[in-house]
C-alpha cells in the first residue's frame, strides 16, 4: 500500500462536561416482530434452552437472559415520543411509522394490549396524537435463541473500547434478540458507563473488532470517520468455497443493494446483493492461501 493511501488518523474532540446520564444507546430500529407476544419457555432438547451443536459449554450462552433470578420474565420497554412533524396523525398511523411492516390489525392489537400513555391511560387507535405525547410499549420478554455472551476487550482508552465480538452474538436488538445482544451485554458489563455507543456494525455470524465510544462526542467523531470512507480501513478474513480465478489480488467494483423478501437470487442469510440499483461498493481482496476446494 502506498503511504498516501493510508487512512488519516481520527482526532477525537476534547472532553466536555458530561450530559445527564442516558441509557446505553442502541440506534438500530427494532424489527416488526420484536413486539410479538411473549413465547413459552422450552426446556426440551433442541428448544430455546439447548446449546447449539458443538457449542463450548464453558461460555455464557445466556440461555435464560430473558428471566429474572426468580424465573419471572423480564419486561421489554420502549418509549415512543411524538415529534412535531407527526402531530395530527391517528395513533395507529403514528405507531406504524415507528414499527414498519406490521399490518393495521396487528398494530391495533398492540395498542390494545401493550401500549399505554405515560400517565397509564389506555388510548384508542383513532386517538389523534400531539407533539410531545409520550407512549410506552411494554411486553414480557420471550425466550431467545442461545448465543455466546462473552467477549474480550482488546483496547481500553479513556474515550473508547475495542471489543472482540464472537460469532453468533448479534450487535443490536432485532425480532429474535433483545437481551442476547452486544448492546445489552455491554450495559451489563459496564453498568457505570451509560453513554457507551457501538460505532459500526458486524453481522451476527461474523466475529471481529468493534469500536465502542465511551461518550457522545467520541461517538460522533468515530462515526464521522467511518462515514467519510477514507479515514478508516476495514479488513476481513473469510474462507470461501471454490477457487478464485485471480492469482493474488483483485478489486471487486459492484453496487450493492438490500435483498428483498421473495427475491429468487437471495441465498440463506444473505442481506445484500450485487446488481443494478445498489449503492457503489469497492472491495479489494487478496488470496492468502488455497486448498483443494476453498481459499
pLDDT tens string 48-68: 567 777 778 888 899 889 999
For residue 56, indicate whether it is catalytic: no
Can you list the domains of the chain with their CATH numbers? 75-140 (3.10.290.10), 237-295 (no CATH)
Examine the pLDDT at 32 and tell me if it is beyond 90.
Answer: no
Q: What is the pLDDT of residues 226-271, one digit of tens each?
A: 988 778 888 888 888 888 888 788 998 988 887 766 555 544 455 6
pLDDT, tens only, 90-113: 999 999 999 877 888 999 999 999
What is the CA angle 65-69-71, rounded to 5? 80
Q: Active-site residue among 119, 203, 263, 293?
A: 203
Q: What are the residues whose beta carbons fall under 8 Å from the beta carbon of 281, sequence distance 6 or more?
A: 252, 253, 254, 255, 256, 274
Q: Output the CA torsion sign for 109, 63, 51, 271.
A: positive
- Residue 275 has a pLDDT of 77
Contact 107, 125 (CB under 8 A): yes
Q: How confident is the model at residue 36 (pLDDT cuts 50, 70, 90)?
A: very low
The three three-digit cell numbers of residue 29, written as one number: 430500529
pLDDT at 195: 94
Please give the model's pTM, rounded to 2 decimal places: 0.69
Amino acid at each position: 500500500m502506498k503511504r498516501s493511501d493510508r487512512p488519516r488518523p481520527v482526532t477525537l474532540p476534547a472532553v466536555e462536561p458530561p450530559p445527564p446520564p442516558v441509557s446505553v444507546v442502541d440506534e438500530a430500529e427494532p424489527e416488526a416482530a420484536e413486539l410479538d407476544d411473549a413465547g413459552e419457555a422450552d426446556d426440551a432438547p433442541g428448544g430455546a434452552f439447548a446449546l447449539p451443536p458443538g457449542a463450548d459449554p464453558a461460555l455464557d450462552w445466556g440461555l435464560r437472559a430473558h428471566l429474572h433470578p426468580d424465573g419471572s420474565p423480564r419486561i421489554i420497554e420502549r418509549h415512543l415520543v411524538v415529534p412535531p412533524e407527526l402531530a395530527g396523525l391517528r395513533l395507529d398511523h403514528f405507531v406504524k411509522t415507528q414499527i414498519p411492516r406490521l399490518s393495521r390489525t396487528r398494530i391495533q392489537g398492540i395498542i390494545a394490549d401493550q401500549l399505554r400513555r405515560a400517565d397509564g391511560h389506555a388510548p384508542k387507535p383513532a386517538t389523534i396524537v400531539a407533539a410531545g405525547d409520550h407512549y410506552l410499549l411494554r411486553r414480557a420478554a420471550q425466550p431467545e435463541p442461545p448465543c455466546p455472551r462473552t467477549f474480550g476487550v482488546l483496547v481500553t482508552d479513556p474515550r473508547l473500547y475495542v471489543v472482540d465480538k464472537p460469532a453468533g452474538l448479534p450487535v443490536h436488538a432485532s425480532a429474535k434478540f433483545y437481551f442476547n445482544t452486544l448492546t445489552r451485554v455491554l450495559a451489563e458489563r459496564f453498568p457505570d458507563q451509560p453513554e457507551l455507543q457501538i460505532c459500526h456494525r458486524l453481522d451476527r455470524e461474523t466475529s471481529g473488532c468493534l469500536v465502542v465510544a465511551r461518550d457522545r462526542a467520541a461517538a460522533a467523531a468515530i462515526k464521522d470517520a467511518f462515514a467519510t470512507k477514507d479515514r478508516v480501513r476495514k479488513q476481513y478474513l473469510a474462507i470461501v468455497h471454490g477457487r478464485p480465478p485471480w492469482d493474488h489480488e483483485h478489486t471487486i467494483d459492484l453496487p450493492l443493494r438490500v435483498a428483498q423478501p421473495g427475491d429468487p437470487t437471495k441465498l440463506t442469510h444473505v442481506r445484500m446483493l450485487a446488481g443494478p440499483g445498489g449503492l457503489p461498493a469497492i472491495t479489494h481482496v487478496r488470496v492468502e492461501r488455497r486448498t483443494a476446494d476453498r481459499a
